[in-house]
Chains A and B, each alone.
Chain A
Amino acid sequence: MNYYETVQTALFFLTLLVLLKPMGAYMAGVYQGERTFLSPLLLPCENLIYRICGVERSEEMGWRRYAGAMLLFNLVLFAGLLAMLLLQHLLPLNPQKLPSFSWQLALNTAVSFVTNTNWQAYSGESAVSYFTQAVGLAVHNFVSAATGMAVAIALIRGFARRKSSLIGNFWVDMTRGVLYILLPISLVAALVLVSQGVIQNFSEYKSTPLLQATTYDKPKLDDKGNAIKDAKGNPITENVTVKEVTIPMGPVASQEAIKELGTNGGGFFNANSAHPFENPTPLSHYLQILLILLIPGALTHTFGLMVGNSRQGWALLGVMLLLLIGSFCVLQWAEVNGNPLLAGLGLQGANMEGKELRFGLSGTNLFTVATTGTSCGAVTAMHDSLTPLGGMIPLALMLLGEIVFGGVGSGLYTMLAFAVVAVFVSGLMIGRTPEYLGKKIEVREMWLAMITILTAGIVVLIASGIAMITPAAVASMANPGAHGLSEILYAYASMANNNGSAFAGLGANINFHNILGSLAMLLGRYLPAVAVLAMAGSLGEKKYVPPSLGTLPTDKAPFALWLTLVILVVGALTFFPALSLGPIIEHLTMWGK
């Protein structure tokens, strides 16, 4: 990194760290039902919502009711979005007269947005109407994020409460999460983005003549939209000359802010945050990274405050930061080293293929680790075009279970499940029944923690295994060999961990991926979420064990390092064989000459 990049990156992290504390404290206030500086404005709206929906705000729920409400609410939202996608051609605000989705793609898309994954097997500008974007997808960006936060808050209450089976009111947590946290920040951020040039309109797509006609090789597609390949498996191309371009329009800014803030990541356009209408300037770029990391990072402080020891939260943040900065450094190193095969052709220097030049190497790399370490999945670079080891970083960040800041809420609760496991083993090693935050970790908690941290990994192992021997899936890879394997592995890692970013290079819109992917996203989202709520209930009922000299302090560096090790070892042991057949062998082959 050069001087400016270093300063830029350091400034970014400084800004982030400064913001986390007030943000975390604000969220703790919101979820504990306190008055905030926005209350004078928002309390009437909040009360109105409760009155209309018949919610008694002081009535708390046990974990089963909470989980039931969460699942029911998500089911209704899913059904709504599914209907909207299937009936898109009948609905208003569709100036391009875009047709409806096939049921498989609609299923995949609806599941994807309701699970906070935002895996997109379509391209936004050529498939989704303004109505679907604004009323369907944007709404899901808010509520799926609020759902994740509600589950995390319920778990925190389980840790904080003593001998109580109640973990909060789902409807109140949802309402307050959207109203006090997501909406105000999105509103402000959207305005800032507009100031930078992000568009916000409902006009028809614009057409404009090119100053210079371009000619390029376009892959031939069959009627299903898949690339036609020759005998060697390489796509057949045809020569095309373009003289005029269509410029897509739309209500982008309103969706852009929440796309990052809610770690959703579903781009308005196919190019996602690499598109100049989504992400026009370096300032908007860093603002987007900030939005991605803001809530997941700040939730660690919310956690610390709510359990009455903010150091507990900072310890988790430390683990996350360590992994994030570590990944960033490896990615930066791999990309700076570039591709030796190109060097042989006289192209020296860093690997810039697939990167948005406006944001530079370090800016792009920072976005890449932020978007895959959290479950955001928005992209400013083609992850497919990273060097093999560089590409393994976003893949590994997802495979670790989306805990490097992680999704809004889901990052914290998965990290807490890891902490429970780390506490369990270390507790045994010091000769005590393990306890975390004064709560004894027993059989039930172990089951639930294991379900929470292992579900996504298990889904990836099964789904990628099935895909590798399914001809349709193999045919959907744009590249043969180890790189193709990485593409499949990445796709299922992304879906099972509810990230939603794509490695690119994979023909995602085939029935196989749409249906298996839907299943992966559903399992990866709801099994851990329900397990976490059950854990919240079980922990809440326990009494509090006061710490003594014999208690392992979980708010200090040794435990944080141990937790980091546990995370890395679980991830490495689960995925080392698969990675060795993908990015690792690709790297060895590339540098082998």
Chain B
Amino acid sequence: MSKHAAQTISLFHGGIIRSALLDSLKKLDPRILWRNPVMFCVEIAGVITLVTFALSLAGLNKEPAWFTGSVSVWLWLTVIFATFAEALAEGRGKARAASLRKSRTDVTAKLLKKPEFGGDFTTVGAGQLRKGDHILVEAPEIIAGDGDVVAGAALVNEAAVTGESAPVVRESGGDRSAVTGGTEVIANAIIVRITANPGETFLDRMISLIEGAKRRKSPNEVALEVLLVALTVVFLLVCANISPLSIYSVKSAGQGTPISLTILVALFVCLAPTTIAALLPAIGIAGMDRLFQKNVIALSGRAIEAAGDVNILLLDKTGTITLGNREAVAFVPVGGYTERELAEIALMASLADETPEGRSIVLLAMKSYGLNPEALPPDAEIIAFSADTRLSGINTGGMQYRKGASDSTISFVKRLGARAIPDTLEDVVDKIARGGATPLVVCRDSDIFGVINLKDIVKGGIQERFQQLRSMGIKTIMVTGDNPLTAAAIAAEAQVDDFLAQAKPEDKLRLIREYQEAGYMVAMTGDGTNDAPALAQADVAVAMNTGTQAAKEAANIIDLDSNPTKLLDIVEVGKQILMTRGNLTTFSISNDIAKYFAIIPAMMLSIYPRLGILNVMHLSTPFSAILSAVIFNGAIIPLLIPLALKGTKFRPMPAEKLLIHNLLVYGVGGIIAPFVGIKAIDLLVSMLTM
């Protein structure tokens, strides 16, 4: 995404850190913090230790003030680290939202009474526009709201939304009619029918999404929170249970003191899954933000997570699997003509053809046979391609030059009285089609000269991409309007798992429904209005920003770069979010084992000195052991913020291998890390308190 480099805002940019620090303090407000129940409990623990610290100072608590004080400080730091992680994740989005908001201010619009050029208009503020209004936008003006172009065509600079500075054409009819409020018309004039009320426009939605104002926890996040809250309740009760047990043990052992409130609270915070709870909000926000960096707007967190679950990808052939345009690669003559003769006729038939395919024919003729395209003869009558004839070409000098699909060309020459069709034609056409290319038959009047081989160019590296998807259990299905022969050949070359040939929009919809009925999660990309029903049906629907308003409304993810292969990135981010959550949960809980070995012998040493044998880390004193565990528990959060924001590295591999890998790294690592960390902190603490 180098072209957006200027827009990328560094995560650790000074300004963002400063405002995140400020925000992290604001988020300590219990009315906000209770939405994260685990951290809310830690905050209460912080308050309790403040009280025990005050009592230590006043001499009412026998524990040394340096101990209760340090525990209290670290409990508060633990909460602040959590709110800071969330604020930091939000920071980058906020900075971008602020720049977006600038492009929205004080736009006026020319409200038309009738949707026609030259009609009367009144100038109103953008805030007064309603759905169904028609406005006139002339260069250089900013379009006041989202809408569809109903008349005219214009060059529009959409940099405000997409970050792409090259202007794009927006015109009425077809698939390029949608305009976004806040973008600028830089040439010509258009009439736009407004399709969104103020406050509901794409820009508004984007701003609120980026700011996280409308962020709702995704179902997966809530389910994980259930697990964390349930564990927290258990640990709360474990600590509550220790108190009476220790009172009894003191009485029966005849020595020691019951466990103090400070220590119980410290144990609780260490055991509660604070690491994952602290980073949980940041993981989701950062995931959405990573997609923003890739110029993808997810309209909900749910959509991204659904992307991680997708097991069927419907991919349009053109533009996704193959380069957008087919390219002429060979001339195959029939009926005794030479290649050169065929090339000449093909060149003539393509002179007026401005499509990329047409140009590639001209180019091939020039390159291979040194032919120079003449200027279009003045008497030339241009025969444009139409769906009825499926032929195109020119009439000049009394001759009719044509190229087109095999059957159309054959019926054309037959109509002109062709006596015989060259018998090799059928073979040649078949062979080309079977090779995944499109055969175009060329004729002059009733003579068939041969066939142009128009080849679909499969994108480089796409096979590896599909291989990766396959290894993650995602099946790719190519959707194309081509005939089954051609489709099969390209499918084989690109190594997709399946294909849908001669697809009509309703076929796509039916296919999606069938897969969903069988329990699959289906993702697709689309841009045209006729894609809208299928987009609305798909679980993950990515609309191209160049697409129509209807497509964008039906989708739940919008790709501002209009690059269909983005779907693969979206799947990756979706999986990363879930994996990061799962890995940090495992890490957080594995940590508890070491914390028990630090705290249990320390807290019970006065009652049962023999429990000191469990002090496998040989921590210096009970106070330093407990404090070290608390410090480790808090300090691990900022250390893991980069991981939470960047996400666990994604490796495409089968589920079982991935699980074993992550269990080794985060499970086993989570068991070992705190033993090392707590021991190191204990060495520091005991040096300081000597």
Q: A: which residues have CB within 8 A of B?
A: 421, 424-433, 438, 441-443, 445-447, 450, 454, 457-458, 461-462, 464-466, 468-469, 474, 480-482, 484-485, 543-546, 548-553, 556, 558-559, 562, 565, 569, 572-578, 580-581, 584-585, 588-589, 592
Contacts and interface: CB of A to CB of B under 8 A. Distances in A.
A589 B226 CA distance: 40
A443 B226 CA distance: 7
Nearest to A566: B589
Contact of A585 (B581, B585, B596, B608): B608
Contacts of A431: 308, 574-576, 578-579, 582, 650, 658
A577 B259 CA distance: 12
Contacts of B238: 461, 573-575, 577-578
A369 to B, nearest CB: 24
Given A433-B308, A580-B604, A558 B656 contact: yes
B249 A485 contact: yes
A428 B579 contact: yes
B contacts with A: majority SS? helix
A442 B217 CA distance: 13
B252 interface: yes
B579 A430 contact: yes
B271 A482 contact: no
Given A482-B249, A558-B660, A549 B470 contact: yes
Which of A454, A552, A576 has the largest count of B CB atoms less than 10 A from its CB?
A: A576
Interface string B471-504: 1111100000000000000000000000000000
Nearest to A549: B473
B248 A550 contact: no
Contacts of A562: 659, 663
A468 B245 contact: yes
Nearest to A457: B234
A12 B166 CA distance: 79
A429 B658 contact: yes
Interface of B: 219-220, 222-224, 226-227, 230, 233-235, 237-238, 240-249, 252-253, 271, 305-306, 308-309, 311, 470-475, 518-521, 574-576, 578-579, 581-583, 585-586, 589-590, 592-593, 596, 600, 604, 607-608, 610-611, 613-614, 650, 654-656, 658-660, 662-663, 666-667
18 contacts: A425-B227, A427-B582, A428-B224, A428-B581, A431-B579, A461-B240, A485-B248, A545-B519, A548-B473, A549-B654, A549-B655, A552-B655, A573-B596, A577-B238, A577-B242, A578-B245, A588-B608, A589-B608
Contacts of A550: 311, 472-474, 654-655
B223 A429 contact: no
Contacts of A574: 234, 238
A481 B253 contact: yes
A426 B589 CA distance: 13
Contacts of A438: 519
Given A468-B248, A558-B660, A546 B520 contact: yes
A266 B222 CA distance: 43
Contact of A432 (B240, B309, B470, B662): B309
Contacts of B242: 577-578, 581
A19 B659 CA distance: 34
Contacts of A441: 223
B606 to A, nearest CB: 13
Contacts of B656: 552-553, 556, 558-559
B365 to A, nearest CB: 47
B589 A465 contact: no
A548 B518 CA distance: 13
B34 to A, nearest CB: 18
Given A424-B223, A581-B246, A585-B608, A429 B230 contact: no
Which of B579, B582, B583, B586 has the largest count of A CB atoms less than 10 A from its CB?
A: B582
B611 A588 contact: yes
B275 to A, nearest CB: 14
9 shortest interchain CB distances as A-B pairs = A428-B582, A550-B473, A431-B575, A548-B473, A549-B473, A429-B582, A450-B230, A468-B244, A468-B248
Nearest to B597: A576
Contact of B578 (A433, A443, A485): A433
B579 A551 contact: no
Contacts of B575: 431-432
A572 B592 CA distance: 10
Contacts of B611: 580, 584-585, 588
Contact of A469 (B223, B248, B585): B248
B286 to A, nearest CB: 15
B456 to A, nearest CB: 28
Nearest to B230: A450
Given A461-B238, A550-B655, A429 B662 contact: yes
Nearest to A464: B241
Contacts of A581: 242, 245-246, 249, 604, 607-608
Given A482-B249, A580-B611, A433 B473 contact: no
Contacts of B583: 428-429
A584 B610 CA distance: 10
B496 to A, nearest CB: 16
Contacts of A559: 656, 659
Given A428-B579, A549-B472, A573 B271 contact: yes
A458 B219 contact: no
Given A446-B223, A481-B253, A578-B238, 9 more contacts: A425-B227, A429-B658, A429-B659, A432-B309, A548-B473, A549-B654, A577-B596, A578-B241, A581-B246
B519 A548 contact: no
B241 A577 contact: yes
A433 B305 contact: yes
Given A431-B575, A450-B226, A573-B271, A458 B233 contact: yes
Nearest to B470: A549
A442 B302 CA distance: 13
Contact of B579 (A429, A447, A458): A429
Nearest to B575: A431
A428 B244 contact: no
Contacts of B600: 576-577, 580
